[in-house]
């Protein structure tokens, strides 16, 4: 290696961590990580996401120097990794490994202070630091310091795994699915807790997850990987709006659809001339109109075009059979929700999906006049993308869920 390799002539000066064309091969197989080039700005939370086996853990392990790149280089603050000695790196990095990985024979206190011990800190100072950290996440040191990992719940263990990475106050924290083993509710709680924690300590974080909800909620920047290579690097909002290709679009799946749905308005998607009838119209005539127009419900309005309610075909039929002579207005039901043209597609979706018995919702202007109708069919148009990609997303998720552990504690 020449001196030029050790300095950073082309380096990104804002980046604390840089990957330049990093490749990692294990034996004769296709490389686990391929030409990985990425700048991680100081103080940012960068999320690596992608299907199982795409090289996320391998990338983190190279940063932690558990393994060496086959090709390319990694840079910390403009200095090539190779110029750091292992102890120096250990000081700068914290690592939360996949599947928690607490050491069962060590107490919680000793687990948290594990790296501090490697760095040669005295027992008393280690214990004090462990207490301080436990308090930060609301666990009483008196109760937890001397317990063993198996005596803790999954959520508590994951907290300890995070604290262990924070104990020596590193600049960079590598987190490999830190909340992966938790149920969704607990995971959300820990995410919030962790975000609060981050507001008090400024850290650069490389965070691995399978979970797009988690990525969207935590990331400053998302790095989407596939087969060892980066497919797209972008902030969450941009990745939602401008996915680089079909793979990204399908990986964002329902999130993109929800985003799209929240951006279009009801006025954009509604049927602008729904089938309507005046309230004074007779029942048989109304039924005939429904048959002719092939609809199974009818919007009823008064003489001024104001919404009176909706009638269903089956109801009309029953009343006609019973000899009811009243006008259709007497059967109109206005109990269901209505929409405004300015409501978002997402609102329409929520309302329709939360009322299983409803096939459609009327759209009313500020004066209560009927201006349109949103049907389940309208939503299918809106969801077209989602339905098409849902299968892909399911597949990716299923793959992700069967991820192998394959990790060692350091
Ligand atoms: N020590 C190793 N020896 C041989 N192959 C390995 C080794 N570690 C990882 N691999 C392979 O490299 C590829 C990437 O693995 P890696 O653990 O980085 O994936 P991942 O993205 O973290 O997946 P997951 O989401 O399942 O944790 C996989 O095909 C894996 O089998
Ligand atoms: Mg992994």
- How far apart are the C-alpha atoms of 23 and 3, rounded to whole Å? 22
Residue 308 DSSP class: E
Neighbours of 274 (CB within 10 A): 20
Given this model, what pLDDT does residue 41 score? 93
Ligand 1 touching residue 112 (CB < 6 A) = no
Given this model, what pLDDT does residue 380 score? 67
Task: Express the helix, strand and coil content of the chain in percent, nearest 5 each.
Answer: 45, 20, 35
Protein residue whose Cα sits closest to atom 3 of ligand 1: 26
Ligand minimally distant from the alpha carbon of residue 53: 1
pLDDT confidence bin for 233, thresholds 50/70/90: very high
The alpha carbon of 35 and the centre of ligand 1 are apart by a number of angstroms equal to 16
Candidate of 47, 50, 57 to mutate for ligand 1, largest count of ligand atoms within 8 Å of Cβ: 57
Residue entry with tokens 């939602």: 240
Ligand 1 touching residue 26 (CB < 6 A) = yes
Please write the tens of the pLDDT for every residue from 53-111.
Answer: 899 999 999 998 889 999 999 999 999 999 998 888 888 898 887 766 789 999 999 99
Collapse the DSSP code of 172 into the 3-class scheme (helix H, G, I; strand E, B; otherwise coil) and give the result: strand
In angstroms, what CA-CA distances link 306 with 245, 324, 358?
A: 46, 24, 21
Closest ligand 1 atom to residue 33 Cα is: 14
Beta bridge partners of 99: none
pLDDT confidence bin for 258, thresholds 50/70/90: low
Please write the tens of the pLDDT for every residue from 152-168.
Answer: 887 788 888 888 888 88
All domains in the chain, ordered by first residue: 3-242 (3.40.50.300), 266-381 (3.10.580.10)
Given this model, what pLDDT does residue 26 score? 92
Mean pLDDT of the chain: 84
283 or 353, higher pLDDT: 283
Protein residue whose Cα sits closest to atom 19 of ligand 1: 53
Closest ligand 1 atom to residue 67 Cα is: 1
The answer to whether residue 329 scores a pLDDT higher than 80 is yes
Candidate of 28, 49, 58 to mutate for ligand 1, largest count of ligand atoms within 8 Å of Cβ: 58
Please write the tens of the pLDDT for every residue from 128-144.
Answer: 999 999 988 888 999 99
Given this model, what pLDDT does residue 386 score? 45
The alpha carbon of 341 and the centre of ligand 1 are apart by a number of angstroms equal to 50
Ligand 1 touching residue 406 (CB < 6 A) = yes
206 or 347, higher pLDDT: 206
Given this model, what pLDDT does residue 5 score? 44
Candidate of 22, 36, 56, 61 to mutate for ligand 1, largest count of ligand atoms within 8 Å of Cβ: 56
Q: At what angle do helices 376-401 and 246-263 cross, to 10 degrees?
A: 140
Helix boundaries (H) for 149-278: 154-166, 184-200, 212-218, 236-241, 246-263, 266-269
- Beta-strand ranges (E) seen in 240-351 are 276-278, 297-301, 307-312
- Beta-strand ranges (E) seen in 3-108 are 15-24, 33-41, 45-49, 71-76, 79-80, 93-96
């Amino acid at each position: 290696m020449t001196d030029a390799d050790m300095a950073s002539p082309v380096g990104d000066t804002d980046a604390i961590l840089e990957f330049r064309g990093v490749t990692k091969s294990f034996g004769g197989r296709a490389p686990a990580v391929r030409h990985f080039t990425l700048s991680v700005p100081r103080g940012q939370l960068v999320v690596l996401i992608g299907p199982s086996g795409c090289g996320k853990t391998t990338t983190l392990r190279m940063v932690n120097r558990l393994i060496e790149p086959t090709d390319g280089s990694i840079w910390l603050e403009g200095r090539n990794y190779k110029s750091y000695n292992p102890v120096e790196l250990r000081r700068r990095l914290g690592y939360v490994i996949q599947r928690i990985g607490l050491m069962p024979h060590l107490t919680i206190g000793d687990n948290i202070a594990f790296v501090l011990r490697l760095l040669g800190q005295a027992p008393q100072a280690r214990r004090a630091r462990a207490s301080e950290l436990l308090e930060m996440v609301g666990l009483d040191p008196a109760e937890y310091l001397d317990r063993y990992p198996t005596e803790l719940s999954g959520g508590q263990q994951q907290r300890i795994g995070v604290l262990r990475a924070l104990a020596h106050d590193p600049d960079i924290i590598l987190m490999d699915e830190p909340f992966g083993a938790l149920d969704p509710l607990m995971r959300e709680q820990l995410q919030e807790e962790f975000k609060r924690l981050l507001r008090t300590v400024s850290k650069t974080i490389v965070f691995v997850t399978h979970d797009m909800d988690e990525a969207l909620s935590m990331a400053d920047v998302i790095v989407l990987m596939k087969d060892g290579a980066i497919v797209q690097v972008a902030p969450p909002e941009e990745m939602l709006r401008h996915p680089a290709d079909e793979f990204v679009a399908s990986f964002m799946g329902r999130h993109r659809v929800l985003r799209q749905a929240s951006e279009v308005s009801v006025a954009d998607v509604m049927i602008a001339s729904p089938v309507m009838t005046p309230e004074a119209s007779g029942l048989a005539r109304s039924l005939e109109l429904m048959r002719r127009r092939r609809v199974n419900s009818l919007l009823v309005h008064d003489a001024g075009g104001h919404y009176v309610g909706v009638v269903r075909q089956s109801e009309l039929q029953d009343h006609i059979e019973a000899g009811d002579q009243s006008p259709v207005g007497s059967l109109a039901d206005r109990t269901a929700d209505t929409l405004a043209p300015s409501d978002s597609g997402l609102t329409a979706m929520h309302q329709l999906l939360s009322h299983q018995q409803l096939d459609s919702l009327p759209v009313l202007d500020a004066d209560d006049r009927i201006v349109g109708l949103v049907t389940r069919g309208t939503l299918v148009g809106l969801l077209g993308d989602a339905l098409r990609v849902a299968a892909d997303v399911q597949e990716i998720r299923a793959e992700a869920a069967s991820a192998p552990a394959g990790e060692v504690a350091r």
